Amino acid sequence: MADKPRLPDTPFWVEPERVVEDRLRLSSEESHHLLHVFRAGPGTPFQATDGRGAFFECVLESVERRIAVGRILNRREGWGELDRSIQLLVGLPEWRAVEQVVEHAVPLGATAIDFVVCERSGREVLGPQRIARLDRIARAALKQSRRSRLPSLTSSPSLAGAVRELNPGARYYGDPEGHPFSNNSTERPQTPLQLAVGPSGGFTEEERRFLTEAGFSAISLGPSRLTTETACLALISLARNSL
């Protein structure tokens, strides 16, 4: 007996330019997933996001040359997003850790992730191919977590350069000698939270001094030594819970 169709349990990705009025057209890859993995037919409900803040409730209307065409029943803006943006500066670690940061920081609400070359990074900025690979990981994490806005992914050649690109915000960085996290910021609700985590071995004394002068408060993540990727998730979770 053939398997019964099942309703899609995660949203599909749709390019913004493929949304026209009350219709949208999935890519060939997303169409294949909807039509063959979930065995969807006309009338099957599904959800989609364009990564720019729009979240769509749809039904499959037709299939045109193996492309799924959905009729939009409802459109929500900012679905699954936090009230404040969370911008993350990460001292560039080894590649496996980079992927893990993106995979887990996106569901936790990161709106921007910059992998920064620090004094202890021991590697160069991420090139276009690796950024493209991270973008695919971020898209998958976005769909899994039912968010609607894709974070920006960059790689800066220096900590000073990365901080210069930031607008004003409530700033914190992970440090063993820091204080417990307390977001008592009097900033306006739309002011971003800006978090910094060092590479393996942490920030150097000079980098910590620079961050303090740039308005970052040192936050302790506990007595145990954490990897870069674990520290990122711990700090972003503290920030997320404070919201």
| Co-location of 70 and 160 in the same domain | no
Of 37, 53, 77, which residue constitutes the final position of a domain?
Answer: 77
Same domain, 100 and 180: yes
Of the residues 45, 77, 109, which one is the last residue of a structural domain? 77
242 or 106: which leads in pLDDT: 106
pLDDT in the model for residue 184: 60
Mean pLDDT for 148-162 is 97
Over the chain, what is the mean pLDDT? Answer: 93
- pTM for the model stands at 0.91
- The token duo for 109 is 């609400």
d(CA 93, CA 202): 10
Residue range(s) defining the domain that contains residue 64? 12-77
Same domain, 184 and 206: yes
**How confident is the model over 55-95, as pLDDT tens digits?**
999 999 999 999 999 999 999 999 999 999 999 999 999 99
Residue closest to 61 by CA, chosen among 85, 74, 42, 80: 42
Compute and round to an integer the Cα radius of gyration of the chain. 20
Question: In this structure, are 207 and 97 located in the same domain?
Answer: yes
